[in-house]
Chains A and B, each alone.
Chain A
């Protein structure tokens, strides 16, 4: 079995109102020097597959077709 972690983040230049709100909250709590904060998503996926290359290709297809909206989001796949 292969386990993977998929990270989905907003593309540069796409406004992130939630990240902005978190950024302001951190500053308000007294954490000085907080720069930009961007919010993203993490998916931990288990695959019944032993071929790493096949697993990676499948995971990328899952990202392109469902897990990420590639209009506004980037993704990265890490097999653990």
Chain B
């Protein structure tokens, strides 16, 4: 399984994502730059976290309008898997590849801590190596992770199993509606989540709870 990492000015978790994909898949991902209009043949495209374009206008808003995102949208339409983490999630909603919006945390504070996540849907290509309802740990680090969607969108997300990760056991760090931490699109191949699973993949990180997400997507046995 081949993977790619999208690079944009202002991202700062790109090296973490490259390291995680290299360690888990056994080969380094290809990198694509914001001005690239084509993405090589890969099975998984990831958009890392950070502060693309300084979070100017709205988080992810400028990045979502860069040429590389048109290429990501084309690949996603063809069924290629896409994972957006943190700023990557914000970019995917701004690009219209996922519904809803990510707003300022209700506390107005930047949160950097560990939370608990419940696997709300273990029947996706990103979570099949987890058990339904399983609680895992994951780091979060963001200022705008407060997921919002209108009532109709929310009903659809909940009804169709598109909510994949939920903050568990009172650890919601941002006030997101229904404790939503991560969602997939209707087609099931685009995932966005605020937590950083790439930062919890080996013993040196203090645990490997995030590893199964990448093993699921890359089709690697645990």
**CB within 8 Å of B: which residues of A?**
14-15, 17-18, 21, 65-67, 69, 71-72
B105 at the interface (CB under 8 A from A): yes
A67-B58 Cα distance, complex, nearest whole Å: 9
Quick check: B149 and A17 within 8 Å, CB to CB? no
Q: Name the distance in Å between A8's Cβ and chain B's nearest Cβ.
A: 10
A46-B86 Cα distance, complex, nearest whole Å: 34
Quick check: A17 and B150 within 8 Å, CB to CB? no
Quick check: A69 and B108 within 8 Å, CB to CB? no
A32-B94 Cα distance, complex, nearest whole Å: 39
Contacts of A71 in B (CB 8 A): 93, 99-101, 148-150
Q: Give the nearest-CB partner of B96 in chain A.
A: A71
Quick check: A14 and B57 within 8 Å, CB to CB? no
A21-B108 Cα distance, complex, nearest whole Å: 8
Quick check: A14 and B103 within 8 Å, CB to CB? yes
**Known pairs A71-B100, A71-B150, A72-B148; A17 contacts B61 (CB<8 A):** no
Partner of B175, one of A15, A21, A72: A15
Contacts of B113 in A (CB 8 A): none
Quick check: B104 and A17 within 8 Å, CB to CB? yes
A interface: dominant SS: helix
Quick check: A15 and B101 within 8 Å, CB to CB? no
Contacts of B65 in A (CB 8 A): 65-66
Contacts of B99 in A (CB 8 A): 71
11 contacts between A and B (CB under 8 A): A17-B108, A17-B175, A65-B65, A66-B57, A66-B65, A69-B94, A71-B93, A71-B100, A71-B101, A72-B101, A72-B148
**CB within 8 Å of A: which residues of B?**
57-58, 61, 65, 93-94, 99-101, 103-108, 146, 148-150, 175
Q: Name the distance in Å between A67's Cβ and chain B's nearest Cβ.
A: 8
Contacts of B108 in A (CB 8 A): 17-18, 21
Quick check: A15 and B103 within 8 Å, CB to CB? yes
Contacts of B149 in A (CB 8 A): 71
A17-B175 Cα distance, complex, nearest whole Å: 10
Quick check: B94 and A15 within 8 Å, CB to CB? no
Quick check: A66 and B148 within 8 Å, CB to CB? no
Quick check: A69 and B61 within 8 Å, CB to CB? yes
A31-B185 Cα distance, complex, nearest whole Å: 46
Partner of B103, one of A21, A65, A67, A72: A72
Top 9 A-B pairs ranked by shortest CB distance?
A71-B101, A72-B101, A17-B106, A17-B104, A17-B108, A69-B101, A21-B108, A69-B58, A18-B104
Q: Name the distance in Å between A11's Cβ and chain B's nearest Cβ.
A: 9
Partner of B61, one of A14, A18, A21, A66: A66
